[in-house]
Amino acid sequence: MPLITHPHARELTKSVRATVLIFKDPRSQELLNRIERLAPSEANALIMGETGTGKELVARHIHNLSRRSKEPFVAVNCGSFPESLVESELFGHEKGAFTGATSTKAGWFEAARGGTLFLDEIGDLPLNMQVKLLRVLQEREVVRLGSRTPIPINVRLVAATNVNLADAVVAGNFREDLFYRLHVATIRLPPLRERPGDTLPLAEFFLEEHSQRLGYNRATLSPAAESKLLAHGWPGNIRELENAIHHALLVCRNQLVQPEDLHLVDMRCTTGRQQHNAIAVAVAVADPNPQQPDLESVLTTLFEQNIPDLYEHIEETIFRTAYRFCHGNQLQTGRILGISRNIVRARLEKMGELSPAPSRMLIQNPPLK
């Protein structure tokens, strides 16, 4: 069974990132196949997935399978820098470029020269930095802050995001030209709830891992505990599963994990049911005559109920309904919604209604044999 682990997993115990990926579920096996087909190319890659799904692990695997595997892999979180320091961190600076710049410093692009630069949470980049990043990708050179001399770079860029960049483009928070520059080779990581075949193998891996770390005898899962794990929605994905197993090992008795040892809270499922029920009730209350719907009255009723994440839920419902109304025709869906087909496809991929098309995997390189 294919397995990928983070090289510094134990140093990330308090992090929200995933530390291991297992590819047993059919969807995970498709994902691994896609990664292995994309990795040898030089195309920029965009990894999309919720927090805790293993985006950095996928980026590292892409690097390890590429021709750049002997060169540096540099991971940078775009949301971790103050806006005033983003340019200096990415592109470097010269001595005296700004107050506090007491020496010349190379940026992360130079640090990754010859290898792979992984930009996590790229959707957090300020718009002015997006312009400069686009230019770097086009010109294949960087200019340090405080300098006018371009420095050639040889770097493969792999970006990741947990937000829908297509929506961010429509909202004006992300540049459309940069979106298409990054969207050459896309990889969507399904959340754990969409690949249930990985849940128990991951749980067994964490049982073994944390038993060794804690100095405990190897514990096992009771059938009831397994059923509880499989029924959970995992809003925190792989990291939540690891934390649940760690907690269970601390409180279980006789090396047997029971359902009550698993401390699980699925806010996603609870909220989703509440939203669905509230919308149905609102429609019935605001519009007793379904032949003549009053959209404004329905929305007003929903607003009065103070439902969390209402906009996202309504937007997703609109996309799903329009797509099904058009019998799966993306172009027609875009027409009736007044948006481009590319945005429709990106949104449907994010929602899980549509798997990434093989024809979109590589644009600059022919399919690998």
Q: Tell me, what DSSP letter sits at residue 124?
A: G
Determine, yes or no, domain membership for 351. Answer: yes
148 occurs within a structural domain: yes
Contact of 229 with 221, CB cutoff 8 Å: yes
CA distances to 286, 334, 356 from 176, rounded to whole Å, are: 39, 17, 19
Flag whether 315 is in a domain: yes
CATH code (residue 332): 1.10.10.60
Of the CA atoms within 13 Å of residue 175, those in its CB half-sphere come to 16
Structure tokens at 208: 């073994």
Is residue 360 one of the residues assigned to a domain?
Answer: yes
- Residue 285 within any structural domain of the chain: no
Short-list 321, 282, 316, CA closest to 299: 282
Does the residue 202 lie in any domain?
no
Question: What are the backbone dihedrals phi and psi of residue 205, each rounded to the nearest 5 degrees, phi first?
Answer: -60, -45
Task: With respect to residue 143, please indicate whether it lies within any of the assigned structural domains.
Answer: yes
User: What does the block give as tokens for 7?
Assistant: 């090289």
State how many domains the chain has: 2
| pLDDT tens track, the chain, 369 positions | 677 776 655 554 444 567 788 999 999 999 999 999 999 988 999 999 998 899 999 999 999 999 999 999 999 998 888 888 899 999 999 998 888 888 999 999 999 999 999 999 999 899 999 999 999 999 999 999 999 999 999 999 999 998 888 888 988 889 999 999 988 889 999 999 999 999 999 999 999 999 998 899 999 999 999 999 999 999 889 989 999 999 999 999 999 999 999 988 755 544 455 555 555 555 544 444 545 456 777 777 777 666 777 787 788 888 888 888 877 788 778 888 888 777 888 788 777 776 654 433 333 344 444
**SS3 state of residue 206:** helix
Same domain, 318 and 183: no
Query: Which residue shows structure tokens 């934390």?
Result: 243
CA dist 269 and 260 (Å) reads 19
Find where tokens 């892409």 sit: 62
Q: Which of 161, 190, 219 is the last residue of a domain?
A: 190
CA angle 179, 183, 188 (to 5 degrees): 115
In a domain, 269, yes or no: no
Q: Which residues, in sequence order, are CB contacts of 79 under 8 Å at separation 6+?
A: 120, 121, 124
> Which domain range does residue 344 map to?
309-364
Asked which of 190, 211, 239 is the last residue of a domain, the reply is 190
Choose the final residue of a domain: 157, 174, 190: 190
Residues 185 and 314 in one domain: no
Q: Residue 104 gets which letter from DSSP?
A: -
Which residues, 6 or more positions from 366, have their beta carbon under 8 angstroms from its beta carbon? none
We report the CATH number of the domain holding residue 164 as 3.40.50.300
Question: Do residues 181 and 314 share a domain?
Answer: no
